[in-house]
Structure 1
Amino acid sequence: MTRIVRLSDVAKAAGVSQGTASNVFNRPDIVRKEVRERVEAAARELGYAGPDPKGRLLRAGKVNAIGVATAEPLSYFFEDPFARVLMAGIASACDMQGAGISLVSAANEEKLAWNIQSAIVDGFVLFCVEGGNRLVELTRDRKLPFVALGLEHEDASVSMVGIDDRAGAAAIAGHVADLGHRRLAILSLQLVDGRTGLVTDAEIASAIYHNSRYRIEGYRAGLAERGIAAAGVPVYETENDRISVDAALASLFASPEPPTALLCMSDRIALFALEWLAARGIAVPGTVSVAGFDGVPEGLLSNPPLTTMAQPIAEIGRMAVQSIFEDAGEPRHLRLDVSLTIRGSTAPPPAA
């Protein structure tokens, strides 16, 4: 086996102390030129690449970097429109601090645990899209500051940044109902892992992803205020992807009385719905109104532009980073306001 060359070996070969050799690599300006050249020559001859930056950073106590962690594949950070805007907010806050970003992800739990344990960061922003409880558990073990986004349950011991999902959903459902719609359907984000399709009240009540359940409860509350019973509004669970959204729409529009309005739990679902409807010549909003939730930039560019409940997505990212750098050892719960953005995808229903 090849022996690892250490700094002490370089110092011995160059005839200097280990402290002097260390200064050559870390503080070269305080070392005389002839000594520096002698140490560098010894390092080249021995094949020494330099000190381990990980060890140096850990000894310093701060690395000036934020870890952004999720149990989703790394592609999630780039493919999902919500994640892209959130990352822009995180990056903006890190730029203000002169800090870097480390993306932490893995396709299986074993690698995720290793990646979180080995990440050289000062704290973590957790994307609790999937496996949020496990992310929190693993991150606690690092004993570093962390902030959870979209955690599956309320936890007073965990710093969180988010919105009032119920109130936002109630407001946009009220907008659609006030236009006169009485045949509606909800296209939901996942309530549990690995399931899609029409869900029952019992399945909604037992959802492990509380944000999805809260939004359904909000939709139903907003509709109930206008005299629309939950029993008449089907809820289809999707995986926030084209395949499951298309399947839900195919089922809904096979009905003799299809919905005249869709309440989509994410803008991504809504954008897939707009494409599906356009491909079949179903006019939006002439025949069907479509309402999203998030406020991603793509919604402004869709045809027609998407009505949505806009979250301050980038601000959520900035606040999460700020909470880490300003960590005082006490959990912080920050709830930001949402705003109803009415565009061209919603209108009164067609005449009977």
Structure 2
Amino acid sequence: MGKGHVRLADVAKAAGVSQGTASNVFSRPDVVREEVRERVLKVARELGYGGPDIKGRLLRAGRVNAIGVAAVEPLTYFFDDPWARSLMTAIGEVCDASGTGIAVVSAMNEERLAWNINSALVDGFILLCVEGGERLVELTRQRQLPFIALALGIEDETIPAIGIDNVAGGAAAARHLLELGHRDIAILSIGDVDGLVGMVAPERVDPEMEATPRDRMHGYWRALAEYGIPREAVPIQGTLHDRPSTLTAMEALFSSANPPTAILAMSDKVALFAMQWLAERGLKVPEDVSLIGFDGVPEAATSLPRLTTVAQPFAEIARRSVTAILENALPENHEALDLELVVRDSTAAPRLP
């Protein structure tokens, strides 16, 4: 008999006990006499039996008390990206409070995607950044477990989703700078489209940008229009949401004849890269340049100066999404949560000429 095919029934027969007694040795050892328990365990070792199939047992019970978190990103994304890290921290805190486990699932490898989703031992899934991840949604649906999408980038109303009002958040950020008196404002956008690196014309925003940066852009434009500033008057520098492209964008903005007195960054991550670039060139924030980010990650509160930002309600997003999975109480429509403008030290009125 091959060791990989040994069953509990084989162990029971070889040890001269009933299958129920053999099962109790592994699941309820306290109810089995010590000499019987030792004999069954000895036979199990000799036959190469490692114990019952935990996955099968849990699935038969109908609940495993764990949630899967999946993204169309490499696994390092969950640890390297400040937004993903903040969200995972919030989800972890909610799960800790209820004694719920977390399984992190990478959907980066298309060939392994179906296996990763189907083999995850979870009660449901939280999907991060669904734009471009239609296959991830499809496979999750096929698994027939509850799932909820965060940072949804597609318009399918049949997908249960919790997100944020990016348009309102963008408008709040721009309005803050405008109320301080800034009129020479520039935008640092985010995304992963190579063609949107460098100067981006306004007419490219709607057809080419992903949903999140597109909505934040429209929020900026809404507030700028309230002050009579046309979108064409505000330069947009596209970044790949990383340090090299952000530094290139800053070089372009400040080598122009009319450099900005304030910058709208579409994420705290990009804002902090921009802040470093300014410091290295002797430009002070906010005395020379005001800077506002978006997301409200912990690093924004500890930078020097502390970063003004539009903060996402990470704790509430986590609470709602985890509860939706555990209680199978998915929202019927897309829910958009409010954001908070957190004014700190990186924004001030422009320097007088």
TM-score interval, normalised by the smaller of the two chains: over 0.9
Displacement of 1:233 in angstroms is 0.9
Displacement of 1:47 in angstroms is 1.9
Equivalent residue number for residue 121 of structure 1: 122
Displacement of 1:330 in angstroms is 6.0
- Segments of 5+ residues of structure 1 without an aligned counterpart are none
Displacement of 1:137 in angstroms is 1.7
SS in 1 for 2:170: helix
Q: Distance in 1 between matches of 2:105 and 2:9?
A: 34
Contact kept, 8 Å, 1:133 with 1:152, in 2: the verdict is no
Equivalent residue number for residue 338 of structure 2: 337
Q: Percent of counterpart pairs with the same letter?
A: 59
Contact kept, 8 Å, 1:92 with 1:318, in 2: the verdict is no
Aligned pairs for 1:1-352 (under 5 A) are 2-4=2-4, 5-128=6-129, 131-190=132-191, 192=193, 195-207=196-208, 209-328=210-329, 331-352=332-353
* Counterpart residue identity of residue 250, structure 2: L
SS in 1 for 2:250: helix
Contact kept, 8 Å, 1:186 with 1:235, in 2: the verdict is yes
Moved more, 237-246 or 321-330: 321-330
Displacement of 1:130 in angstroms is 5.6
SS in 2 for 1:269: helix
Displacement of 1:225 in angstroms is 0.3
Distance 1:193 1:90, change over 3 A: farther
Displacement of 1:129 in angstroms is 6.1
CA RMSD, 1 decimal: 1.9
Distance 1:158 1:188, change over 3 A: same
Displacement of 1:98 in angstroms is 1.0
Displacement of 1:208 in angstroms is 5.5
- Segments of 5+ residues of structure 2 without an aligned counterpart are none
Distance 1:153 1:29, change over 3 A: same
Q: Distance in 2 between matches of 1:50 and 1:131?
A: 41
Q: Distance in 2 between matches of 1:201 and 1:168?
A: 19
* Counterpart residue identity of residue 245, structure 2: S
Displacement of 1:138 in angstroms is 2.0
SS in 2 for 1:39: helix
Q: How many residues align?
A: 352
* Counterpart residue identity of residue 247, structure 1: T
Q: Distance in 1 between matches of 2:66 and 2:250?
A: 43
SS in 2 for 1:72: coil
SS in 1 for 2:293: strand
Q: Distance in 1 between matches of 2:90 and 2:204?
A: 34
Contact kept, 8 Å, 1:68 with 1:127, in 2: the verdict is yes
Displacement of 1:289 in angstroms is 0.8
Q: Distance in 2 between matches of 1:123 and 1:2?
A: 35
